[in-house]
Amino acid sequence: MRKEPKNYTGIEEQGDLLSSMRERFAKSYETHGYIRALNSALENDLIRILKKYGITFPSFRTLWILYFDTEMTMSDLTYIAQTNISNAFRQLTKLNEDGLVQIESGKDSRTKILSITESGRKIIQEFIDEHVKSSDLQIVSILEKIPEEDLAKFIEVASFLSTELIGETYTQWIKKSKNMLLD
């Protein structure tokens, strides 16, 4: 009878663990790749549509956020937009010059309070109205092809990832703004 080394089982389990870690790492890479591709396709689709409004995608994103939160700080905006303060400030400066946002001093000189103007609100409202009636955004028609329960599961998983990676505040903002679109 052959006697197994005492740590053989441990090495085997360790190998399983490494294999499992390799699989998780590979799945995280795959997930990132799909999310990156979706993000790129969605942004390119929006960029095509935004040409008629004469604004860039980053400007649109800023207006979109301020549409749902009529007043916010620069820190809150950078968090929700998932960008850095210098990119946000560049966009805000241009939008302020175009009369689409207002930048006011907050409680101290370092704090800025941001708000959307009526002209900025009008751009976002027109965009929403147009795409609620008949959208030429590819994602809208593609989502119709996904069974409701699969889409609900996808949204559940995306919400979980968002909460774990970005934070509950971000996920709640997305849910709040979606509900505002429904109302």
Instruction: Tell me the pLDDT tens digit for each residue of 135-170.
Output: 999 999 999 999 999 999 999 999 999 999 999 999
Domain boundaries, the chain: 55-145
Tokens 């409202």: give the residue: 125
Average pLDDT, the chain: 89
DSSP H or E run through 115 = strand 112-116
Q: Which numeric CATH code is attached to 55-145?
A: 1.10.10.10
Band of residue 111 on the pLDDT scale cut at 50, 70, 90: confident
Per the structure block, which two tokens stand in for 69? 């939160």
- DSSP assignment of 46-111 equals HHHHHGGGT--HHHHHHHHHHHHSSEEEHHHHHHHHT--HHHHHHHHHHHHHTTSEEEEE-SSTT-
Q: Write down the pLDDT at residue 21.
A: 86
Q: Write down the pLDDT at residue 17.
A: 63
Cα 130 → chain centroid: 21
Instruction: Give me the mean pLDDT over the 86-109 stretch.
Output: 90
Q: Indicate whether 4 pLDDT > 70.
A: no
Q: Write down the pLDDT at residue 5.
A: 46
Question: Looking at this protein, which amino acid is placed at residue 126?
Answer: E
Instruction: Tell me the pLDDT tens digit for each residue of 44-95.
Output: 999 999 999 999 999 999 999 999 998 899 999 999 999 999 999 999 999 9
Band of residue 16 on the pLDDT scale cut at 50, 70, 90: low
pTM of the model as a whole: 0.84
